[in-house]
Amino acid sequence: MNILKAIAIAATGLRAQSSRMRVISENIANAESTASTPGGNPYTRKISTFRQEYDKTIGANVVSVGRILQDKTEYEMKYDPTHPGADANGYIKLANVNALVEMADMREAQRSYEANLNVITSTRNMMSRTIDILRG
């Protein structure tokens, strides 16, 4: 495999995981949100998807960000008749975000990001050593 191709492929992985981490961060930031109007919906959890595509410029399959989907999980209901978003029965809808799940997803995305970064670093080191050998 071409060394520059390996770097290009790993770079697409970096971009994909970076995008995933931004979506997860948004979910975590809105985990405690509630409906602001009676009967309204609070923040809905987002899920990143990836897709494989062929990059003609490097001649290899790469990863890219697919669609950002909304989680179809039901909202949790909480009884709080004083809240401005409470319905006629006094219940408010809470965001369908589980902070523990988001933190696990964030850790997984971070490790994938680091793995792609290690590929780039190792490839650059191999290129540097090869150049040093050719000089000597």
Going residue by residue through the chain, which has 136 residues, state the pLDDT in tens, using 9 for 90 and above. Answer: 588 899 999 999 999 999 999 999 999 999 999 988 888 899 999 999 999 999 999 999 999 999 999 999 999 999 999 999 999 999 999 999 999 999 999 999 999 999 999 999 999 999 999 999 999 8
The predicted structure's pLDDT at residue 52: 96
The range of the structural domain enclosing residue 13 comes to: 3-135
Alpha helices (H) along the chain: 3-29, 99-135
This prediction has a pTM of: 0.88
Please tell me the total count of domains within the chain: 1
The predicted structure's pLDDT at residue 109: 97
* Distance of alpha carbon 43 from alpha carbon 119, whole angstroms: 36
